[in-house]
Structure 1
Amino acid sequence: MNDSTTTTSTATTSAAIQCAPVQSWSDRRAFLKLERELYKGDPNWVTPLWSERKQLCGFGSHPFYNDADSRAFLARKNGRVVGRVVAIVNHAHNRHHNEQRGFFGFFECIDDADVSRGLFDAAADWLREQGMTDVRGPVNPSLNYEVGLLVDGFDTPPTFLIPYNHAYYGDLIEACGFEKCQDVFCYDATIDQLATVDPKLKFVIEESTRRFKVTCRPIDRSRFDEDVQAFLRIYNESLQRTWGYVPMSHEELVHQSKQLKLLIVPELTSIAEIDGEPVGAGFGLLDFNQLLIKMNGHLLPFGWLKLWLGKRKIDRLRLVSTNVLPKYQSWGLGLVTLARILPDAIEFGIRTGEFSWVLESNRLSRGTIERGGAKKMKTQRIYDRKL
């Protein structure tokens, strides 16, 4: 649950700077408003979906917080809001990894080291009170959602659900004692590149299909809920040994499936089956940021209609994940699953595909993507710090 009862102490770094917990409705409004103010005039910033942002920050009902606590902080300098951060205790993570690790997310700040230091000191104090010994971030609010700080690739807007931030944030975070833990990459490939795949990869696709008698199909509109649940189940099981991963709860899976139902284009998905059983799933998500950048972050009253009617104008696809059940992961079924999407993506009008996020430590995926001709375009960094 979202913690609203623990300490309300204020961390003060100077007479002019105060960092205090978010408590009131006006505090929450200021917390969200700061993001808009800091990126005013930045052509590469895309307004978030404010309704979803409120939930993920812990200001509304979200199933992630059924098994997590959080405390949001605001920094004020001479009475003006100039920074924010959320400290998070993800109990599911700590049980799964046998750790006492806290997290931080939703960090925004003016270019002032005293302000950022005050924010992270306040967050660290609260996390220590919860028994945490380390802190990792940024995650918004976990690795299953938005993750990492942009440290390379500031010249273009992010794709849908990829974080964006000012270039100076890395210096502020590192000045507070954080060190790089892991990078995650975004790769770009044109459809023309994907259509002329390396012959070795083509052989893997053909051989894997033959060996396992794999059939691939898009998500079926007539059993949409069932197929989305199958995709999310495969997603959970396939990532069990991935760095930092924590399975989504059943409530999170249900919530995500409802969200995805509004956004998924079935032709840009793929479910791989062996003897009728789903064993792999590929998920391409349209870059709705191409539309959202003009919508100011509000889906009501006509936002959803604009997304729905405008989706055919989108020419960029984010390949969010290609997941295969563990016992099939060394046999190229991920490539088989992905190959099914390609002709439909071309017909839809997609010109560019982005593979994201790809963990720095996932050498197999990185090698396959790079062999296919994709280029690394953006780097998001995850930091660690001892408390």
Structure 2
Amino acid sequence: MKAIKVVNPKQERAFLELPGRINAGDPFYIRPLDKDVRAVFDPKKNKLFAQGTCERFLFYTSEGELFGRVAVFINPRYKQSQPTGGIGFFDCTNNQRQAHFIFDFAKNFLQERGMQAMDGPINFGERDKFWGLLTEGHQEPLYGMNYNPLYYKELFESYGFKNYFDQLCYSRPVHGEVSRVFTVMHTRHSRNPLLSARRLTRKNLEKFAKDFTHIYNSAWASHGQGKQMEPGKALRMFQMMKPVINEHICWFVYEKEEPIAMWINLPDLNQWFKYLDGKFGLWQKLRFLWLKKTKPNTKMVGIVFGVVPKWQKTGLDGYMIMEGTNHLRVHTDFQTTELQWIGDFNPKMMRIAQSLDTTVSRKLTTYRYLFDSQAPFERHPVLD
């Protein structure tokens, strides 16, 4: 067996197409857009290359048959208790020996560069895309979400990877009954003349990006190795989302004019992208626009939910959720909502999700492998 570094377009094409071969015949598999995968490995688009290291590899048998792929990287912003590298975009045939060859290769690559552990499968970037191994809930993946065969779990665990944390997704029917607690809180806060719930509008993106920044920095910046977000970054993010924003499912709450809570959702783009087979050229863009107009999207995805500390534990979340839910039930085709990327180390958000009468729809596991087998293993610290 041998590893070949991806350095030319032919090899990149093989890297992009291997998952389709691995998942052939799986009705739930949706090929990610090639442009999204390429962007991770483009130094012009991924600023982590300025200080980090990232390489892609293909793996072949002695007979020249392609059996696997992986990306190996060091992200200087990924601060852990020991120097920890990452592996992502792992795919392999159902062969333990071949999988272990890939893991050995990645381990050696990272050890030679001073790492003492490796996490995977993770992304050379943020946790919002291509992060975690799907270990429960095999169904159509949401946009930007990893998908893999069931046997990958055994490949990782047989090598010695241990569960560092799980990211949970919670689902509920849009028209299902909402918890009585939320209806009571909605009634209580509706009497407060200083409070108002407003839905995001595209024509006022700059204002809502600024309000998003205020709430995010107050409520979430300290979570999950987070950092303060600049208003300019939030605006760029909103501008990128503008073509797919649904104004009926993004909500903010204000005390007078101060933003104090937000609930940001988007349509699940994979409900449209699954018809494009990973391509997004001119023809696919035109088809995407046609699909948006002609094919109702019935699944919405919770992206961010936050309440500033002053208003936490007051039931304001119930007020916001009921305001948004009552509106979107009338004005949209959505039948299912899914809250994604809630770490099992974040009991506060888990309680909020559970209070919405949700069920866990899928679980994605981030594994950790310590190079020193005698070193104590600790799971992700629990947030207060």
TM-score (norm 2): 0.85
Between the aligned partners of 1:58 and 1:114, the Cα distance in structure 2 is 31
1:187 matches 2:178: no
TM-superposed CA distance for 1:385, in Å, is 1.1
TM-superposed CA distance for 1:307, in Å, is 3.3
Letter in 2 for 1:228: A
Structure 1 residues 22-33: aligned runs within 5 Å: 22-33=6-17
Assess, with a 3 A threshold, how the Cα gap between structure 1 residues 245 and 74 changes in structure 2: closer, same or farther.
farther
TM-superposed CA distance for 1:76, in Å, is 0.9
1:151 matches 2:135: yes
Assess, with a 3 A threshold, how the Cα gap between structure 1 residues 215 and 250 changes in structure 2: closer, same or farther.
closer
Q: Is the 8 A contact 1:271 1:280 kept in 2?
A: yes
TM-superposed CA distance for 1:314, in Å, is 0.6
Q: Deviations over 1:246-267 (max 9, x none)?
A: 6678886565334312221122
Assess, with a 3 A threshold, how the Cα gap between structure 1 residues 380 and 368 changes in structure 2: closer, same or farther.
same
1:339 matches 2:309: no
Say which of 235, 242, 254 aligns to 1:261: 242
Structure 1 residues 175-254: aligned runs within 5 Å: 175-193=158-176, 196-207=177-188, 213-228=194-209, 230-231=211-212, 234-235=215-216, 237-245=218-226, 253=234
1:74 matches 2:58: yes
Between the aligned partners of 1:218 and 1:296, the Cα distance in structure 2 is 33
Say which of 351, 357, 363 aligns to 1:367: 351
Assess, with a 3 A threshold, how the Cα gap between structure 1 residues 284 and 23 changes in structure 2: closer, same or farther.
same
Identity level (%): 22
Between the aligned partners of 2:207 and 2:39, the Cα distance in structure 1 is 25
Between the aligned partners of 2:141 and 2:128, the Cα distance in structure 1 is 18
1:18 matches 2:2: yes
Letter in 1 for 2:68: G
Q: Is the 8 A contact 2:117 2:369 kept in 1?
A: yes
- SS of the residue corresponding to residue 373 of structure 1 reads coil
- SS of the residue corresponding to residue 260 of structure 2 reads strand
> May I ask how many residue pairs the two structures share in their alignment?
366
TM-superposed CA distance for 1:85, in Å, is 1.1
1:111 matches 2:94: yes
1:91 matches 2:76: yes
TM-superposed CA distance for 1:115, in Å, is 1.8
Q: Is the 8 A contact 2:214 2:259 kept in 1?
A: no
1:122 matches 2:115: no
Q: Deviations over 1:18-73 (max 9, x none)?
A: 12432333222221121222222221011211111111244762234445321222
**Which deviates further from its counterpart, 320-329 or 78-87?**
320-329
Q: Is the 8 A contact 1:160 1:287 kept in 2?
A: yes
Q: Is the 8 A contact 2:86 2:119 kept in 1?
A: yes
Say which of 357, 367, 383 aligns to 1:383: 367
Q: In structure 2, list runs of 5 or more residues that go unmatched.
A: 372-384
CA RMSD of aligned residues (A): 2.6
Q: Is the 8 A contact 1:54 1:60 kept in 2?
A: no
Q: Which residue is equivalent to 2:379? A: none
Between the aligned partners of 1:82 and 1:134, the Cα distance in structure 2 is 25
